[in-house]
Amino acid sequence: MKNILYRLDLKGSPYLYIAPFFVLFGLFGLFPLVYTAWVSLHDWQLISDTHTFIGLQNYRDLFADDSFWNALRNTGQIWVLSTVPQLIAAIFLAHVLNQRLRAATFWRITALLPNMTSVAAVALIFGQIFGRDYGLVNFVLGLFGAGHIDWQAGTASSQVAISVMIIWRWTGYNSLIYLAAMQAVPKDLYDASALDGATGLQQLTRITIPAIRPTIILTVILSTIGGLQVLAEPLLFGGASPTGGSDRQFQTLSLYLYEVAFSRFDFGYASTAAWAMFGVIVIAAIVNYFFVSRLRRS
Amino acid sequence: MHTARSSAAPRRRFAAVAAPLLAAALLATAACGDGGKNTPAAGGKVDLTIGTFGEFGYKALYDEYMKANPNVKITERITKTEDHHKNLAAHLATNTGAADIESIEEGWVGQFSSQPGKFYNWMDYGGAEIKAQWPEWKWRQGSAATGEVIGLGTDVGGMAMCYRTDEFAAAGLPTNRDEVSKLWPTWEDFITTGQKFEDAVKAGKVKNAHFMDGPAVMYRSILGQQSVGIYDGDKVVVETNPGVKKAWDLTIDAMNKGLSAKIAAWSNDWNAGFAKGTFATLACPSWMMAYIQSQAKDSSGKWDIAAVPGGGGNWGGSFLTLPKQGKHPQEAAALAKWLTAPEQQAKVFRSVGNFPSTVTLYQDPVIKDFKNPFFSNAPVGEIFSKSVTSMVPQYMGPKSGDINTAVINGLTRVEQGKQTPDQSWAQVLKDIKAIM
């Protein structure tokens, strides 16, 4: 008897120890995923009781849906517009924070402040800053004699405005991640290069950046995930309209999903869009993976 | 309870970042699903819950009702307008969590009345006897295309034309509200008046102003006056219905003639425009008065209110419904009928200003003699009553809100110079097909 209990403990207990993760993952990760797939195969209006099975029709509709491709394109454009300047700025900011500064902790906390601000507040304030008639940006442009820009109307201008919100919010966050990585770079490398007469910029490009490359890859991956989920910024920039502008010029994938699900109450189609988004994220992850492994080899 | 879903312009002002949270809310709902069910407490007491949004002004009424009906206990759940309706949809979908009485705003009522099976039919709960309280159109809005009545009217918006007397005077137009009303019996006259105003702007008599704000409110007002709107019965008829095209063409005409300040309704520039006088007129329902007052505190006395062109109209207002999940429909129906009865609507108007939907009240001095000092003491009670009683009934279908958004986006594209009116109309029709 004791022997059996002992063996049960040996064989069974480990499963119990890891069970919490799998139970939670099954409940909040796997089940919604599978259920969404099931819903996506139906004509499923949220408040209707009849859900007709229609097979892959939703997917056929989605791939022929201009609004979906438009949203995908916008998401990609906003991602590039926001990530590239953001990561470059973050590296420089981290480089500055890595110098000997008075009240270093204070500056580091300051860098994180924008990230702690509620995204709704950020979007509302930037919405005012980019206002057409009474916005701050147009006011400043006016001082230099430039004409007023209707930020919301244009495709490029609206996406730039949204990217600025994202950049403002996330630059400090990324710079702190870089800073942590930079502090692990051996100091004697800098001392040696200083003896050889290297400038600050040379130290940054020749020593710091190669040394923190894995961290840069990490932030690129993080911002890819974040970039595919941009929702609040375009939603609030468009005055809470889920269409993202009069011509959907700044409607992201998440916003399109939101429009279909919570404005049209069409859960079947929204689930299809959600799975398409999942597919896009998987593709992005695969691209990232090859990118990273090539970088590692080089 | 008013602002809510203006099918003009972004309807989801308050949605904010609620969406990602909704999944969590759904889960929470499933977890504590019986929040809305009434379990008769000890002593045979009936617990009734009522779900509202914004300000219905019912607080004092609950106490009064509970005093008169000691066996009833009322709990009110107040949520933000957007969230309220999205939660209600989720509660109906999951068949759990809805209150005994749920309020629904005009902009959403079509979506819910398309599923009458989810609600008790008021015709089974004495609806026929009290039907005469409401104007025909309000009753129709709370009904399904198949005839079931899901909602009893609470308040209405009515429709009038707010205008800046100082800018009208500068432009050489009359400022007296009766004379101003005579300027525009029709929307064509409204546009003609607007051209006179713009001439004065060009002559430098009025600075930094246009005649109207933007296309959304004008389109919405004209559409509301057509006997057939987006829907004919349960069919979407935008493409073939001359009513919708008329609203579109008139709004395009006004824009082509340069009357518009090109400002999107509910935007920051719109809010600032009230204070700065960027636009001289705005078609306004009764609840817009409070909005203008809050946006342009310093312009008291500069605004006045005249009749809306083209006859009556309405924008906004709500309904009380009884979701079928409720376990005490008899008691809930009695409470909802009492809350929407004329006496109670008058009390609500007095305490929070929601404009009543009861026709008989419009003869009551409470409404009839009500003047608004901010708007140059305009007899707003009388003005809005008139628009409500002359309003034509129009059926609101399940996709009315989304379709109106598509049309208004189309008008905005023309205004932003992105497309010609014809290109834009073609895209509107395409967008509507995608919505269906």
Decide: B152 and B316 in contact? Cβ < 8 Å: no
Decide: B251 and B222 in contact? Cβ < 8 Å: yes
pLDDT at B33 over 80: no
Residue indicated by tokens 């003047």:
B371
Q: What is the rounded CA–CA span in Å between residue A259 and residue A244?
A: 9
**Which of A65, A127, A265 minimises the CB distance to B268?**
A127
Specify the pLDDT at position A86.
94
C-beta atoms of B89 and A265 within 8 A: yes
Q: Which 3-state string (H, E, C) describes B59-100?
A: HHHHHHHHHHCCCEEEEEEEECHHHHHHHHHHHHHHCCCCCC
Query: Average per-residue pLDDT in chain B?
Result: 86
Q: How confident is the model at residue A239 (pLDDT cuts 50, 70, 90)?
A: confident
Give chain B positions within 8 Å (CB) of A48. Answer: 115
pLDDT at B178 over 70: yes
Residues A198-221, mean pLDDT to the nearest whole number? 88
The minimum CA-CA distance between B39 and chain A, rounded to whole Å, is 25
**Which of A153, A235, A262 minimises the CB distance to B416?**
A153
**Is the CB of B418 inside 8 Å of chain A's CB atoms?**
yes
Specify the pLDDT at position A3.
85
Question: Residue B427's closest chain A neighbor by CA?
Answer: A247
Q: What is the rounded CA–CA span in Å between residue A220 and residue B84?
A: 38
Dihedral pair phi/psi, residue A12, rounded to 5°: -90, -40
**Which of A134, A240, A258 minimises the CB distance to B269?**
A134
Q: What is the rounded CA–CA span in Å between residue B190 and residue B183?
A: 7
Residues A120 and A12 in one domain: no
Q: What is the rounded CA–CA span in Å between residue B419 and residue B427?
A: 10
C-beta atoms of A241 and B12 within 8 A: yes
Give chain B positions within 8 Å (CB) of A264. Answer: 399, 402, 435
pLDDT at B28 over 50: no
A82 lies in which domain range? Answer: 58-297
AA letter at B434: A
Q: How confident is the model at residue B305 (pLDDT cuts 50, 70, 90)?
A: very high
- B160-314+394-435 carries CATH number 3.40.190.10: yes
pTM: 0.84
Helix (H), strand (E) counts: chain B:
19, 11
The minimum CA-CA distance between A268 and chain B, rounded to whole Å, is 13
Q: What is the rounded CA–CA span in Å between residue B2 and residue B292?
A: 14
Question: Residue B26's closest chain A neighbor by CA?
Answer: A32
Q: Which of A138, A236, A262, A271 to mutate to test the interface with B (most CBs of B within 10 A)?
A: A262
Q: How confident is the model at residue A103 (pLDDT cuts 50, 70, 90)?
A: confident
Tell me: the pLDDT tens digits for A52-87? 999 999 999 999 999 999 999 999 999 999 999 999
Specify the pLDDT at position A72.
95
Domains of chain A: total: 2
Give chain A positions within 8 Å (CB) of B266. Answer: 239-240
Q: What is the rounded CA–CA span in Å between residue B75 and residue B99?
A: 9
Q: What is the rounded CA–CA span in Å between residue A248 and residue A251?
A: 5
Residues B303-330, mean pLDDT to the nearest whole number? 92
Specify the pLDDT at position B436.
81
Give chain A positions within 8 Å (CB) of B17. Answer: 119-120, 231-232, 235
Give chain A positions within 8 Å (CB) of B117. Answer: 49
Q: How confident is the model at residue B38 (pLDDT cuts 50, 70, 90)?
A: very low
Dihedral pair phi/psi, residue A239, rounded to 5°: 65, 35
On the CB side of A99, CA atoms within 13 Å amount to: 11
Pairs of residues, one from chain A and one from chain B, whose beta carbons lie less than 8 Å apart: 103
The DSSP line for A218-273 is HHHHHHHHHHHT--HHHHHHTTT-TT-STTSTT--HHHHHHHHHHTS-BHHHHHHH
pLDDT at B133 over 50: yes
Domain-embedded: residue A53? no
Residues A157 and A95 in one domain: yes
**Is the CB of B25 inside 8 Å of chain A's CB atoms?**
no
Residues A32 and A65 in one domain: no
* Cα dihedral value A283, A286, A292, A298, nearest 10: -110
Specify the pLDDT at position B8.
37
Decide: B209 and B277 in contact? Cβ < 8 Å: yes
**Which of A47, A119, A241 minimises the CB distance to B92?**
A47
Q: Which of A39, A119, A133, A148 to mutate to test the interface with B (most CBs of B within 10 A)?
A: A133
Give chain B positions within 8 Å (CB) of A152. Answer: 264
Residues B38-57, mean pLDDT to the nearest whole number? 77
Which 350-389 residues of chain B touch chain A by CB within 8 A?
none
Residues A10 and A110 in one domain: no
pLDDT at A298 over 80: no
DSSP 3-state assignment of A177? Answer: helix
pLDDT at B394 over 90: no
Structure tokens, A8: 């049960």
C-beta atoms of A262 and B86 within 8 A: yes
Specify the pLDDT at position B426.
95
Residues A15 and A161 in one domain: no
Question: Residue A127's closest chain B neighbor by CA?
Answer: B268
**Which of B16, B406, B410 minimises the CB distance to A236?**
B16
**Is the CB of B324 inside 8 Å of chain A's CB atoms?**
no
Residues A251 and A119 in one domain: yes
pLDDT at B265 over 90: no
Q: How confident is the model at residue B250 (pLDDT cuts 50, 70, 90)?
A: very high
Specify the pLDDT at position B116.
92
Q: What is the rounded CA–CA span in Å between residue A44 and residue B94?
A: 13
Residue B48's DSSP bridge partners are B74
Decide: A229 and A254 in contact? Cβ < 8 Å: yes
Domain-embedded: residue A50? no
Question: Residue A245's closest chain B neighbor by CA?
Answer: B409
Domain-embedded: residue A233? yes
Question: Residue A258's closest chain B neighbor by CA?
Answer: B19
Decide: B279 and B211 in contact? Cβ < 8 Å: yes
Residues A275 and A198 in one domain: yes
Specify the pLDDT at position A292.
77
The DSSP line for B313-359 is ----EEEEE-BTT-S-HHHHHHHHHHHTSHHHHHHHHHHH-PPB--G
Q: How confident is the model at residue B328 (pLDDT cuts 50, 70, 90)?
A: very high
Specify the pLDDT at position A273.
95
Residues 6+ apart with CB under 8 A from B108: B5, B85, B401
Give chain B positions within 8 Å (CB) of A67. Answer: 434
Residues A175-183, mean pLDDT to the nearest whole number? 93
Residues A144 and A267 in one domain: yes
**What are the C-alpha distances in Å from A145 to residues A136, A140, A158, A165?**
14, 9, 21, 25
Domain-embedded: residue A51? no
Specify the pLDDT at position B82.
84
Tell me: the pLDDT tens digits for B153-171? 999 988 999 999 999 999 9
Residue indicated by tokens 């120890």:
A17
Residues A11 and A137 in one domain: no
Closest CA to A224 of A158, A287, A297, A160: A287
C-beta atoms of A133 and B23 within 8 A: no
Residues 6+ apart with CB under 8 A from A130: A137, A138, A151, A152, A161, A164, A237
Structure tokens, B381: 């009670």
Residues B322-337, mean pLDDT to the nearest whole number? 94
Specify the pLDDT at position B41.
46
Q: Which 3-state string (H, E, C) describes B167-190?
A: HHHHCCCCCCHHHHHHHCCCHHHH
**Is the CB of A24 inside 8 Å of chain B's CB atoms?**
no
Specify the pLDDT at position A146.
79
Specify the pLDDT at position B43.
56
C-beta atoms of B14 and A240 within 8 A: yes
Question: Residue B10's closest chain A neighbor by CA?
Answer: A241
Domain-embedded: residue A217? yes
pLDDT at B1 over 70: no
Domain-embedded: residue A175? yes
Q: Which of A62, A256, A265, A272 to mutate to test the interface with B (most CBs of B within 10 A)?
A: A265
pLDDT at B6 over 70: no
* Identical fold, B18-156+316-378 and B160-314+394-435: yes
| Helix residue ranges per DSSP H, A98-212 | 104-116, 119-129, 136-143, 155-182, 187-195, 200-203, 209-211
Residues B88-112, mean pLDDT to the nearest whole number? 92
Residues A114 and A185 in one domain: yes
Output the CATH code of domain B18-156+316-378. 3.40.190.10
C-beta atoms of A263 and B402 within 8 A: yes
Q: What is the rounded CA–CA span in Å between residue B9 and residue B300?
A: 26
Decide: B412 and B264 in contact? Cβ < 8 Å: yes
CATH of residue A124? 1.10.3720.10
Decide: A119 and A232 in contact? Cβ < 8 Å: yes
The minimum CA-CA distance between A254 and chain B, rounded to whole Å, is 10
Dihedral pair phi/psi, residue B47, rounded to 5°: -90, 120
Give chain B positions within 8 Å (CB) of A153. Answer: 416-418
C-beta atoms of B115 and A48 within 8 A: yes
Query: Average per-residue pLDDT in chain A?
Result: 90
Question: Residue B15's closest chain A neighbor by CA?
Answer: A240
Domain-embedded: residue A47? no
**For chain B, domain boundaries:** 18-156+316-378, 160-314+394-435
B121 burial (CB, 10 Å; 0-12 / 13-18 / 19+) is: middle
B165-169: long-range pairs with CB below 8 Å, 24+:
B165/B301, B165/B302, B165/B303, B165/B304, B165/B376, B166/B277, B166/B302, B167/B197, B167/B206, B167/B209, B167/B277, B167/B280, B168/B197, B168/B280
Closest CA to B138 of B122, B125, B120: B122
